[in-house]
């Protein structure tokens, strides 16, 4: 295999909390190939959120190097990281992080406003709408988040993460606030994106059964990688979904 999409070497991150220095990451090295479906598992306080923030370019490591798509990004300043987040990374959060009182369509369009391409509104609407249709809620494009269920909100968030055609989707506990059926639905979408479009998915979770939708699982504890192994019996969300009894449409 050629150059991995993500390569981090001896990543360390510490915070000063008053007089105490907290070591959130104590030296993490990882390679993630392009097109992988990768899961990071760990309890809260294990350092997985810190790892995700650094990989998502929201934070900078105290030391160590981070190459994204062959480019050393560990020294990038705020604005260059923002630009890279916009172009290469899509975020899906546990709490959906949609703008309130803003329609699903406009939420999906949000990253387009910052991509510097100066697209016309009609162009943006078309792109956003096609993504909402792809995640199955095209008919709710003009609904605001409080008119949508949790599963629907997460679909909007996934559509938003894809709108700038990123190479990497970072999903931070994407099913944490969802019931089990909706969780399977969301994982089905992520697996489909990974399979059909070759988008690299990085899943952060504390649930081992959710991690089994990935092809490879890394366990983090106390700021270090504990285990790093391929998933032997990978779950297929599409198959599970077909096996579930049909329910009446979501509200």
Partner 1 sequence: MGIRETFRLALRAIRRNKVRSALTMLGVIIGVASVIAMIALGSGARAIIDEQIQSQGTTLIYLSSGSFGGPGRAHGGSGSITTLTMEDAEAIAREIPTVGLWTPGMRGRAQLIAGNNNWNSSIEGGNEDFLAVRNWVIAEGANFTARDVLVAEKVCLLGATVATTLFPDQDPVGQVSRVRNMPFRVVGVLAAKGQGQWGQDQDDFVLAPWTTVQKKLLGINYIHQVSFTAKTSELVEPTAVAITRLMRARHRSPGPEQDDFSVRTVEEMAATRVQMASTMNGLLMSVASVSLLVGGIGIMNIMLVSVTERTREIGVRMAVGARTGDVLKQFLAEAVALSLVGGLAGILLGIGVSEAITTSLGWPVLITTSSILIAFAFSAAVGIFFGWYPARKAANLDPIEALRYE
Please report, as ranges, the residues that interact with partner 1 according to CB under 8 A: 53, 56, 58-59, 78-79, 82-83, 85-87, 91, 93, 97-101, 110-111, 113-115, 118, 160, 164
Minimum distance of partner 1 from residue 141's CB (angstroms): 18
**In the numeric block, which tokens belong to residue 125?**
């609407």
Minimum distance of partner 1 from residue 114's CB (angstroms): 4
Collapsing DSSP to helix, strand or coil, 203 comes out as strand
Nearer to partner 1, 127 or 160 (CB): 160
Of the candidates 178, 216, 205, 228, the one whose C-alpha atom is nearest the C-alpha of residue 44 is 205
Nearer to partner 1, 170 or 225 (CB): 170
Q: How far apart are CA 110 and CA 122, in angstroms?
A: 14
Minimum distance of partner 1 from residue 53's CB (angstroms): 6
Q: How far apart are CA 114 and CA 83, in angstroms?
A: 8
Nearer to partner 1, 140 or 160 (CB): 160
Of the candidates 199, 173, 183, the one whose C-alpha atom is nearest the C-alpha of residue 96 is 173
Nearer to partner 1, 4 or 56 (CB): 56
Which DSSP string do the residues of 9-65 spell out, in sequence order? EEEEEEEEETTEEEEEEEEEEEEE-TT-EEEEE--TTSSHHHHHHHHTTSS--SEEE
Minimum distance of partner 1 from residue 1's CB (angstroms): 29
Q: In which residue are the tokens 């934070």 written?
A: 59
**In the numeric block, which tokens belong to residue 68?**
């994204």
Minimum distance of partner 1 from residue 41's CB (angstroms): 21
Nearer to partner 1, 71 or 180 (CB): 71
């Amino acid at each position: 295999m050629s150059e991995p999409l993500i390569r981090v070497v001896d990543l360390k991150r510490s915070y000063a909390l008053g007089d105490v220095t907290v070591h959130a990451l104590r030296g993490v090295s990882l390679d993630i190939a392009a097109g992988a479906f990768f899961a990071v598992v760990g309890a809260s306080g294990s350092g997985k959120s810190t790892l995700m923030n650094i990989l998502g370019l929201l934070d900078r490591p105290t030391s160590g190097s981070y190459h994204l798509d062959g480019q050393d990004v560990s020294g990038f300043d705020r604005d260059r990281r923002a630009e890279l987040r916009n172009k290469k990374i899509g975020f899906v959060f546990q709490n959906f992080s949609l703008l309130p009182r803003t329609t699903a369509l406009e939420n999906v369009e949000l990253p387009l406003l910052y991509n510097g391409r100066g697209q016309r509104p009609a162009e943006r609407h078309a792109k956003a709408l096609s993504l909402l249709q792809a995640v199955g809620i095209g008919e709710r494009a003009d609904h605001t988040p409080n008119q949508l269920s949790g599963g629907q909100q997460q679909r909007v968030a996934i559509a938003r993460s894809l709108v700038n055609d990123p190479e990497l989707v970072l999903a931070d506990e994407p099913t944490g606030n969802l019931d089990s059926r909706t969780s399977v639905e969301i994982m089905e979408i992520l697996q489909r994106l990974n399979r059909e479009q070759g988008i690299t998915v990085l899943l952060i979770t504390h649930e081992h059964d959710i991690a089994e939708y990935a092809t490879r699982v890394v366990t983090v504890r106390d700021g270090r990688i504990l285990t790093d192994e391929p998933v032997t019996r990978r779950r297929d969300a599409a198959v599970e979904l077909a096996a579930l009894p049909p329910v009446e449409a979501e509200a």
